[in-house]
Structure 1
C-alpha cells in the first residue's frame, strides 16, 4: 500500500484529490494539509511514501511548494515528492527538480497520469507530465534563457496590464529604457505588440499564465 500526504492550500482541491486517490487500489491517503510548516511536521510524523505537493501553496506559513519540498527532504530524506500544479513553465519545472522533486504532474492532466506518477515515484523512479518533460528538454538542450532576467520582469509586468510608465517606475528605470527592452523582446519572440508578446511568452513557458 502506497501512503500519500496531500499538500495544497485549496481545501476543495485537497478533497478532490482525497476522493480520487482513496478510490484507487493500492493507495491510502495518510494525511492532508494546506501550508508548508504543517506539511513538514506531517511528513516527519507520518513518513509517507509520496507527498503530492502544490507548487504555489499561496501565502500560508512555510513558503511555497518548492521551499517546502526542500524542507521535507532535509527533514525526511528519501521522501518521494510529486509536484502538482496548474501550469508547466520551464522555470517551475527546473526549480521543482532542483529542489529534489521526482515527479511533476499538471492538474489538468488525466487521473491516470497522477496515479502513474505516484506509483513511479514510490518505486524510486522519476516522472514528468508530457508537457513538463518537453519544457525540461528544451531548457537542458538550450540552457541560455531566451529572455534576460530584466526582460522577463518587463514581460511579467506587461501581462499584468501595466503601461511603460508603470513598468519603468516598478523597475526603477526610465521609460526610454523600457522601450528599448520592448524592442529587444519583440525581436526575440517574433512578436509585434504587447498582447502577442504576452501570449507568446506564456506559450513558451517563459512566464506563468495569469
Structure 2
C-alpha cells in the first residue's frame, strides 16, 4: 500500500513498484483516514508511507496499522531529512526511513528487504546522527542515567521518586539536569531519543 497525498508522486511510486517482479500494489491512499480504512481491510504486507498528510501524519498511519494490521511492515518515504522525524518514525515502529531523492530501484530493494523481515534505516541519516550526536549520556551521573531510563518508559516524576526512593523535588532536579545535558527540552523528546538510539542495533 502506498500512502501519499500527492497523486502524481503516489502514481509514480506505484508504477515503479508494480513494474518490479513479484511486487503488487494492492492499495493507494492520500489521507490518514483512507490509509487506516484500506489498511485494515486489505492488510498489506508492506506500507510505503509519507510523513505529511492532509489529516495527520504518517506516524498516525503506522500507529493505526500496528493495531488493525500488525503484520504490515511500514516504510517511511519522505522528503524530510530530519532527526526528529526519524526518531518519531523509529518509535512508531517503521522498518525503514527512505528519502524521496533515492532512485526507483532503491525503493524496490527496500520494499523487498522489509517484506523479507529486515529492518533498514537510511545509512546516511544514521551516520550523520551519530557524528552530530556523540554519546551525550557519558556526561550523566548515575542517578541521572537511572532517571533517563525511567522517563523513557513514560514514568512521571512521582512514579520515579517512588521507584528510586527519592524526593519528588530531587527527581525534578535530576530531570532538568538530564534534559540540559542531552540538549532536549521535553520528556516526550527523551522517549523518541532513546528509541532512536536503540535503532542502531536493529541493523
Give the superposition deviation at 1:148. 4.6
Q: CA RMSD in A?
A: 2.2
From 122, 126, 131, the counterpart of 2:124: 131
Q: Distance in 1 between matches of 2:132 and 2:92?
A: 16
CA distance in structure 2 between the partners assigned to 1:64 and 1:21 by the alignment: 22
Aligned: 1:88 with 2:81: yes
Say yes or no: does 1:35 pair with 2:37.
no
Secondary structure in 1 aligned to 2:52?
coil
1:100-115 equivalent positions in 2, closer than 5 A: 100-115=93-108
2:2 is equivalent to residue 6 of structure 1: yes
- CA positional deviation for 1:110: 1.7
Preserved contact between residue 94 and residue 136 of structure 1 (Cα < 8 Å): no
Distance in structure 2 (CA, Å) of the matches to 1:140 and 1:147: 10
Q: Deviations over 1:138-167 (max 9, x none)?
A: 5775357875549xxxxxxxxxxxxxxxxx
Question: How much has 1:91 moved relative to structure 2?
Answer: 0.7
Mapping of residues 163-174 of structure 1, within 5 Å: none
- Aligned position for 1:117: 110
Q: State how far apart, in whole Å, the 2-side matches of 1:42 and 1:34 are.
A: 11
Number of aligned residue pairs: give it.
143
Tell me the residue number matched to 2:167. none
Alignment of 1:197-208 (within 5 A): none
* TM-score between both structures, scaled by the size of structure 2: 0.64
For structure 1, the residue ranges without an aligned partner over 5 or more in a row are 151-210
Which residue is equivalent to 1:183? none
Which of 6, 9, 15 matches 2:11? Answer: 15
Q: Is the 8 A contact 1:7 1:39 kept in 2?
A: yes
Q: Normalized per residue, which structure has more helix?
A: 2
- 1:25 to 2:18 alignment: no
Aligned counterparts of 2:182 and 2:80: Cα–Cα separation in 1: 19
Change in CA separation of 1:67 and 1:142 when aligned onto 2, cut-off 3 Å = farther
Instruction: Provide the secondary structure at the position in 2 that maps to 1:95.
Output: helix
How far apart, in 2, do the equivalents of 1:148 and 1:128 lie? 23
Decide whether the 8 Å contact of 1:103 with 1:127 is kept in 2: yes
Q: Distance in 1 between matches of 2:38 and 2:59?
A: 17
